[in-house]
Amino acid sequence: MATSSVSTGCFVFKPKDSKKRRKSVPADFFNKDNAISESDRWRFSTYESLWQQMKEETESLQDSLNEKIFDSLLTFIKNSHIQLDLKENDWSYRMRCSEIPTAAVVLGVNVPDHEMTFQRLSDLLKQSLTPHVVCLHGKECTTVKQVLQKVLMHLLGGTANDEDAEEEDVHHSTPLSQRKIHCSMASLSGWYKAISQTSVSGSPSKKRKSCVVGQEQAPPIVIIFKDLESFLPEVLQNFIIICSNYIQQLPLVLVFGIATSPITIHRMLPRAVCSLLCIELFQSLSCSDHLTTVIDKLVLTTKFPFKLSGRVLQVLTVIFLYHDFSVKNFVKGFQLSLLEHFYSQPLSFLCCTLDEANDRIQNLAHGECELIRQVPTFMRYVDSQDSENQIELLTNDQYLKDDVQKLLKDLHIYHKNYFPVLKCLHILTSSLPKYPLGKQIRELYIACLEKNIWETEEYSSAFQLLGMMANDELVCLLQKCIDVLKSSMQQKPLTDIMQKLEEFLSKFQKLDDIAVKMEDKEGDEDHKMSPEKSLQKRTDLYELQKTLMELKKSRRSKKLSRFEVLRMEVLEFMDKLVRQYLLPPETQPLHEVVYFSAASTIRRHLNAAPRTALQAALSKPYNYLKNEAVRSKEGAITNTAPDICIVYKLHLECGRLINLYDWLQAFVTVVTAAEGQDPDKMSNGQVDQVLHARFIRAVSELEFLGFIKPTKRKTDHVTRLTWGGF
């Protein structure tokens, strides 16, 4: 019987189909019908090419943002064991050789991004500095033995197939998984001594004197602790003490990945252990600044035609600010929005460059022209035309194609003018007190997408504060606006705006001391004949009242200075630009082609409610199983449902404390009724063992899901943790 399963087998012979099945391609999922049209292939290919461009842009951006800290880390690791200027009998030399070079890298609380950062750092180290790089996770290293195993596994396993190691010793040529090695630093020291002797000038007889030789002769061993806070303090302390005893033989370098604060090192390690480390601090770019740069490169640009609506961008931003601070997850959410747009919008194949869109429009079929006619903004555009154009747009496909090309071109021009003016408005308002229009440009952009920004109270208060700005501050802001317009793509409206701002800037610069003296001189002449002088003369009550009225009137009609007049002209000009170019996207025909607005879909995917989904699955299993046998009326308990669903619905009828015996009896009653058995039929008053086991398993699953928990208040009772059903 022990070997009966060897001779008993089940073999599957698939029949040979005369007609080979067509392999499904990813483009098939973009069409809900069986037939695949040319537009479906366009949608999928456009999505792939667009996302590839965005992915390359984000990767290059992340590399450029981390370039400074990576260069500093590489320099630190390279020079960590090079002490050519110190003598061996020097006290500082002996003290430095007894310390382990340690880089404390503060990356912030955006933990999901740390993996990508350390992976990039590991790749750079292996490419330019040393092949001996080990990355450790706290959950995998709960003991010192596990830490040593991970280190030896990465280092010795990576060189198991090297030709030099094979020639030197057969013991080193076998894979680590096929041989037993004593996990200790002595084994690592012997391995490193062997490979260093063979790598120095190609002569094994040349021994390495110390760990402070040149970089080409002794590449360091870098051990990266990706999540320092997750390591047990005792394990970390013991490992550091062991490493300090071998620092004269091994050029070890430790890299601590810190999410909170550098003080974490001193909280985890006592002073005696910290004295064994030579720590240097490295600070990465804040995740908020990183997100601002990503939004500027992916969203606030005309390089990519795909755009997010205000609500979708707000959902992604809220998840970033209130959940994980992860730029990586923000980019994933952006990718999901891109995929949902191309999947749900049939006209998304026009979300491409202007030249490609014009070529595709000319090849549109009649059904696709009808889809364009059903777009809400295009219907409003048709209603705004005269009767002749309306008839042509609704009946003539070629006339429709020509008009759609014009509308998409206008939408492209709208974006080219939108973002430079938006950045200029942000420059003017981002330094105001209390930030009425937001401190970050993403806040201003969301507000401009949702409604007319000039109709809000925040906009009015912002321009009131700008009306009190000093000369030098306003000149500095105007210069920044000119720089933004210069960096944008040159076209007719932007060049005119830039020239107008340069004129204002030159006028401000001409407000010199001569003009101020002329105003003072005119003010003195007016002061001589002012009503205040007439108050000093002797007069009657009527003349005094008349003089006071003239004085009050003159103060009300105070003459504005040349600077105030010019400042008012600048603000009026900027207000005109905002009203002209920062219109919401809903005002543009066919904006649905490039804008994704399904915020509820993104929120459901990225910010899911697991308890609601669990309750829905347990209350209505038909929605997931698609089996007619488990379909039931609202509130009824189906006896053919899975055991956990039956137990869940029975527990909804109980109070805070649930009697397990009563619960079991109710479960047996429901299940035996489904199987056509008598629920009262028991052997010696005991429940069938199979039913009892099924009940225990279902209750254990409910406990695992967090619906109940054991209690000590009553015997054979459990506590209910949730109230109500789905």
- pLDDT tens, 343-387? 999 999 999 999 999 999 999 999 999 999 999 999 999 999 999
Rg of the chain (C-alpha set)? 37
Cα–Cα distance, 369 to 281 (Å, whole number): 61
Is 540's pLDDT higher than 80?
no
**Number of other CB atoms surrounding residue 116 within 10 Å:** 15
Report angle CA 534, 537, 542 to the nearest 5 degrees: 75
714 contacts: CB under 8 Å, gap ≥ 6: 657
Compute CA distances 298 → 302, 317, 347, whole Å: 9, 14, 22
Q: Left, alpha or beta for 438 (phi > 0: left; psi -120 to 50: alpha)?
A: left
Q: Which residue has the higher pLDDT, 605 or 30?
A: 605
The answer to whether residues 403 and 350 belong to one domain is yes
What pLDDT, on the 0 to 100 scale, is given for residue 525? 52
**Portion of the chain with pLDDT greater than 90, in percent:** 56
Strand partners, 105: 257, 282
**End residue of a domain, out of 259, 284, 309:** 284
End-to-end CA distance of the chain: 50
Task: Give the residue with greater pLDDT, 626 vs 479.
Answer: 479
| Residue 627 pLDDT level (bands cut at 50, 70, 90) | confident
User: Which range scores top for mean pLDDT: 210-224, 503-517, 525-539?
Assistant: 503-517
Residue 22 has pLDDT above 60, yes or no: no
In a domain, 19, yes or no: no
Average pLDDT score over residue span 546-557: 68
Q: Is residue 77 part of a domain?
A: yes
**Sequence-ordered list of residues with C-beta below 8 angstroms from that of 451, at least 6 positions apart, any chain:** 584
* Same domain for 157 and 128: yes
Q: Structure tokens of 67?
A: 């370039």
Q: Do 186 and 308 belong to one domain?
A: no
Tell whether 172 and 111 lie within a shared domain: yes
Q: What is the mean pLDDT of residues 698-715?
A: 90
Asked if the model's pLDDT at residue 175 lies above 80, the reply is no
What is the structure's pLDDT at 687? 73
Residues 483 and 427 in one domain: yes
pLDDT band, residue 489 (cuts 50/70/90): low
**If you ran DSSP here, which 8-state letter would residue 35 be given?**
S
Contacts with 84 (C-beta within 8 Å, 6 or more apart), sequence order: 212
DSSP, collapsed to helix, strand or coil, labels residue 515 as helix
pLDDT higher than 50, residue 3: no
Asked if pLDDT for residue 686 goes beyond 70, the answer is no
The answer on pLDDT for 505 being more than 70 is yes
Type of residue numbered 497: I
* Tokens of residue 646, six digits: 């039956």
Question: Is the pLDDT reported for residue 162 higher than 90?
Answer: no
Alpha carbons within 13 A on the beta-carbon side of 189: 14
Please state the rounded mean pLDDT for residues 505-531: 61
Tokens of 37: 């049209």
pLDDT of amino acid 491: 75
Q: What does the angle CA 109 – CA 115 – CA 119 come to, to the nearest 5 degrees?
A: 140
pLDDT at 196: 80
User: pLDDT tens across 657-684, in order?
Assistant: 999 999 999 998 888 875 556 555 554 5
174-211 burial code (b ≥16 CB/10 A, e <16) = eebeeeebebebeebeebbebbbbbbbeeeeeeebeeb
What pLDDT is attached to residue 641? 87
What residues pair up with 222 in beta bridges, in sequence order?
A: 133, 253
Alpha helices (H) along 160-212: 163-168, 170-173, 185-199
Where does residue 253 rank: exposed (0-12), middle (13-18), buried (19+ CB within 10 A)? buried
- Which residue from 385, 437, 424 is spatially nearest to 504, judged by alpha carbons? 424
**Last residue in a domain, options 249, 284, 319:** 284
Nearest to 136 by CA among 221, 228, 73, 66: 228
- 361: containing domain: 290-508+581-599
pLDDT at 696: 93
Token couple for 98: 């007894």
Which element (helix H / strand E) includes 412?
A: helix 397-429
DSSP 284: P
User: Sign of the C-alpha dihedral, residues 515, 520, 523, 529?
Assistant: negative
Q: Is the same domain home to 113 and 261?
A: yes
Looking at residue 461, its amino acid is S
Report d(CA 160, CA 170) in Å as an integer.
Answer: 10
Burial of residue 216, with CB atoms counted within 10 A of its CB: 0-12 exposed, 13-18 middle, 19 or more buried: exposed
pLDDT band at 172 (very low <50, low <70, confident <90, very high): very low
In angstroms, the Cα distances linking 562 to 120, 420, 565 are: 57, 29, 5
| Widest pairwise Cα distance in the chain | 134
HSE-up (13 A, CA, CB side) for residue 49: 13
User: In terms of pLDDT, which residue wins out, 183 or 420?
Assistant: 420
Q: What is the mean pLDDT of residues 251-255?
A: 94
Query: Measured between alpha carbons, how far is residue 300 from residues 46, 55, 719 in Å?
Result: 20, 16, 53
Nearest 10 degrees: CA dihedral of 80, 81, 87, 90? 60
Q: Where residue 85 falls among pLDDT bands split at 50, 70, 90?
A: very low
Sign of the four-CA dihedral 335, 338, 339, 340: positive
| Domain identity same for 353 and 280 | no
DSSP, residue by residue, 259-282: SS-THHHHHHS-HHHHTTEEEEEE
Do 350 and 397 contact (CB within 8 A), yes or no? Answer: no
Residue scoring higher pLDDT (170 or 274): 274
The answer to whether residue 312 sits within a structural domain is yes
- As a 3-state breakdown, the chain gives helix, strand, coil percent values, each rounded to 5, of 60, 5, 30
Query: What's the burial of 668, exposed, middle or buried (CB within 10 Å: 0-12/13-18/19+)?
Result: buried
Q: What integer pLDDT is reported at residue 559 of this predicted model?
A: 72
More confident residue, 623 or 338: 338
Q: What is the CATH number of the domain that holds 165?
A: 3.40.50.300
**Residue 466, CB half-sphere, CA atoms under 13 Å: how many?**
30
Residue 50 within any structural domain of the chain: no
Look up residue 634 and give its DSSP letter: T
Looking at the structure, do residues 216 and 334 belong to the same domain, yes or no?
A: no
29 inside domain: no
205-219, 270-284, 468-482, 712-726: the lowest-pLDDT one: 205-219
Min mean pLDDT across 146-160, 394-408, 490-504, 546-560 is at 546-560
pLDDT tens for each residue of 90-130: 545 555 567 899 999 999 988 889 999 999 999 999 999 99
pLDDT for 625 beyond 80? yes
Q: Classify residue 666: in a domain, yes or no.
A: yes
- The Cα-based distances of 171 to 131, 159, 186, 191, 478 in angstroms read 21, 12, 16, 11, 72
Instruction: Specify if 260 maps to a domain.
Output: yes
pLDDT in tens, 422-479: 999 999 999 999 999 999 999 999 999 999 999 999 999 999 999 999 988 999 999 9
pLDDT band at 159 (very low <50, low <70, confident <90, very high): very low
**Average pLDDT score over residue span 591-596:** 96
What is the SS3 assignment for 135?
strand
Strand partners, 253: 222
Neighbour tally for 401: CB within 10 Å: 19
Stretch 326-341: mean pLDDT: 95
Extract the runs of DSSP E, i.e. beta strands, from 168-312.
221-225, 252-258, 277-283, 307-308
Query: Is 180 in the same domain as 324?
Result: no
Residue 597's identity, in one-letter code, is S
Residue 58 lies in a domain: no
Identify the CA nearest to 615 among candidates 710, 702, 674, 700. Answer: 702
Q: What are 231-244's pLDDT values in tens digits?
A: 999 999 999 999 99
**pLDDT confidence of residue 195:** 85
Q: Are residues 368 and 461 in the same domain?
A: yes
Are 591 and 648 members of one domain? no
Domain count, the chain: 3
Q: Are residues 77 and 165 in the same domain?
A: yes
Closest to 536 (Cα-Cα) out of 551, 554, 521: 551
Q: Name the β-bridge partners of 255.
A: 103, 224
Query: Pick from 444, 429, 155, 433: which is nearest to 300 by CA?
Result: 444
